[in-house]
Amino acid sequence: MNFTKDSFGPNFSWGVSTAAYQIEGAWNEDGKGPSVWDVFSNTKGKTHKGQNGNISCDFYHRYEHDLSIMQGLGIRNYRFSLSWSRIIPNGIGEVNTKGIDFYNRVIDTCLNYGIEPWITLYHWDLPHELEKKGGWTNREVIDWFANFVQVCVSHFGGRVKHWMVLNEPLVFTGAGYFLGIHAPGKKGLKNFFAAAHHAALCQAEGGRIVRSMLSDGHIGTTFSCSSIHPFSPSKNDEMAAKRVDVLLNRLFVEPLAGLGYPVHDLKLLQRFEEVVKDGDEQKLAFDMDFIGIQNYTREIVASSRLTPLIWAKVIEANKRKVETTEMGWEVYPESMYEMLLKFSKYKNFKEILVTENGAAFPDILENGVIRDVKRKDFLTQKIQQVLRAKQSGVNVTGYFVWSFTDNFEWAEGYRPRFGLVHVDFETQQRTIKDSGRWFSGFIRDDS
């Protein structure tokens, strides 16, 4: 490795990321209301082996221990999300003091340990009571969300500077309201376009609310993204790749950047007309202080007459004889560089951060040690691509590993392990993996 953390300059934020539903457990304790993920994962047949996040890493009770491990590793930035239904059990209305107390304790513990909290307001766990009213497909979600954001900022804004509005809107609307493979398990284009438009409006509105309440806040939102490469140099495959790029990479960032939905490059998006109201185009735009990109892999795309509307298909990595992670995602470090360059072209955001990056590999715990060389190599190569982008002039200012501990990987359950710290889900024992020790050494001030 021919670079150190100093190659990134003194103000670069190195950190780790988690999400409430994936780690907290305590799903029905201390007044918490159910979220769509509580309901979905406790419904038969929805997740790998019927697993759920009812207990997960039990972070709700073990946060202090976990944060002390984080501190011991010298990690100075922690991105985590707030569970909406722990704070407002019905989504709207009464605030649950015990939920507020919990996040106060987490924030205070971080600050005592010299760890800067970075809050994601929404990481996919909509209150179930709101889903009963249509959830993200109901335009009223804009008011429900605005109220939630105000409650959070009014309680935590004095101590938390860094805020992210949404986590990967394409994934929770696409997987949750179109494909039905994530909570709440709805399907179809009608649901998708309604949910996507309302999420895009909330993304900007959330930013406006945080800024109006915190003049010195550092405000952003996050996007999933992957390089999209054509299967062959043929015109058809190139056009197919371009259409998939619109859907996977451009759909949510462009309206935020004031460019509107990229309808001209994907006719299917004309269906937004069903839900867009007069004046919405302005409301979709907001000049975030930063955007967070979350990059794991790339996609290879071929044209396909069998896939209506998008006329393209993704050629799975396992059919291409390439190295993959346990998620079946191709290991392709350059995707990080390509995405940083691509997203830096949107001029109205001052900074870009990598708010998630990491890999699941099968870990073997032997005599208290996990020699996860593949994860360490994966992270090293990705970080090198971040440096390459920085040296090409991209204002990339941070990098967060997904994830701090192993956790509940949504519909995939507990099988994929992304952590720098191993969790034995039977005993709740934590074991720092070799990759965790390596990351710790890499980011330490004295390294």
Give me the residues that bind ligand FCB (CB under 6 A), please. Answer: 19, 22, 167-168, 171, 224, 294, 356, 402, 409-410, 418
Choice between 191 and 224, CB closer to ligand FCB:
224
Shortest separation between residue 407's beta carbon and ligand FCB, angstroms? 8
Choice between 156 and 410, CB closer to ligand FCB:
410
Shortest separation between residue 179's beta carbon and ligand FCB, angstroms? 14
Query: Is 168 part of the annotated catalytic residue set?
Result: yes
3-state DSSP assignment of residue 352: strand
Query: Is 412 part of the annotated catalytic residue set?
Result: no
d(CA 34, CA 399) in angstroms, rounded, equals 32
Choice between 240 and 339, CB closer to ligand FCB:
339
Cα distance between the two ends of the chain: 14
Do residues 292 and 264 touch, judged by C-beta distance below 8 A?
Answer: no
Q: How is 412-436 classified by DSSP, letter by letter?
A: GTTSS---SEEEETTTTEEEE-HHH
Choice between 58 and 409, CB closer to ligand FCB:
409
Q: Which of 24, 254, 356, 409 is catalytic?
A: 356
d(CA 431, CA 366) in angstroms, rounded, equals 11
Number of H helices, E strands in the chain: 15, 13
Q: Which of 24, 129, 168, 205 is catalytic?
A: 168
Q: Which of 117, 262, 266, 264 is nearest to 200 (CA)?
A: 262
Choice between 14 and 410, CB closer to ligand FCB:
410
Shortest separation between residue 285's beta carbon and ligand FCB, angstroms? 24
Shortest separation between residue 158's beta carbon and ligand FCB, angstroms? 27
Do residues 75 and 398 touch, judged by C-beta distance below 8 A?
Answer: no
Do residues 28 and 391 touch, judged by C-beta distance below 8 A?
Answer: no
Choice between 66 and 356, CB closer to ligand FCB:
356
d(CA 356, CA 239) in angstroms, rounded, equals 29
Shortest separation between residue 55's beta carbon and ligand FCB, angstroms? 18
3-state DSSP assignment of residue 56: coil
Between the alpha carbon of residue 158 and those of residues 120, 163, 216, the distances in Å are: 16, 12, 10
d(CA 121, CA 145) in angstroms, rounded, equals 9
Question: Which element (helix H / strand E) includes 370?
Answer: strand 369-370
d(CA 401, CA 379) in angstroms, rounded, equals 8
Rg (CA), the chain: 21
Choice between 211 and 298, CB closer to ligand FCB:
298
Choice between 144 and 329, CB closer to ligand FCB:
329
Shortest separation between residue 171's beta carbon and ligand FCB, angstroms? 5
Measured in whole angstroms, the distance separating CA 47 from the mean position of its chain's CA atoms is: 19
**Token pair of 406 as six digits:** 């192993």
Shortest separation between residue 359's beta carbon and ligand FCB, angstroms? 9
Shortest separation between residue 38's beta carbon and ligand FCB, angstroms? 16
How many CA atoms, within 13 angstroms, populate the side-chain half-sphere of residue 10?
A: 0
Q: Residue 426, exposed/middle/buried by CB under 10 A (0-12, 13-18, 19+)? A: exposed
Q: Would you name the residues annotated as active-site residues? A: 168, 356
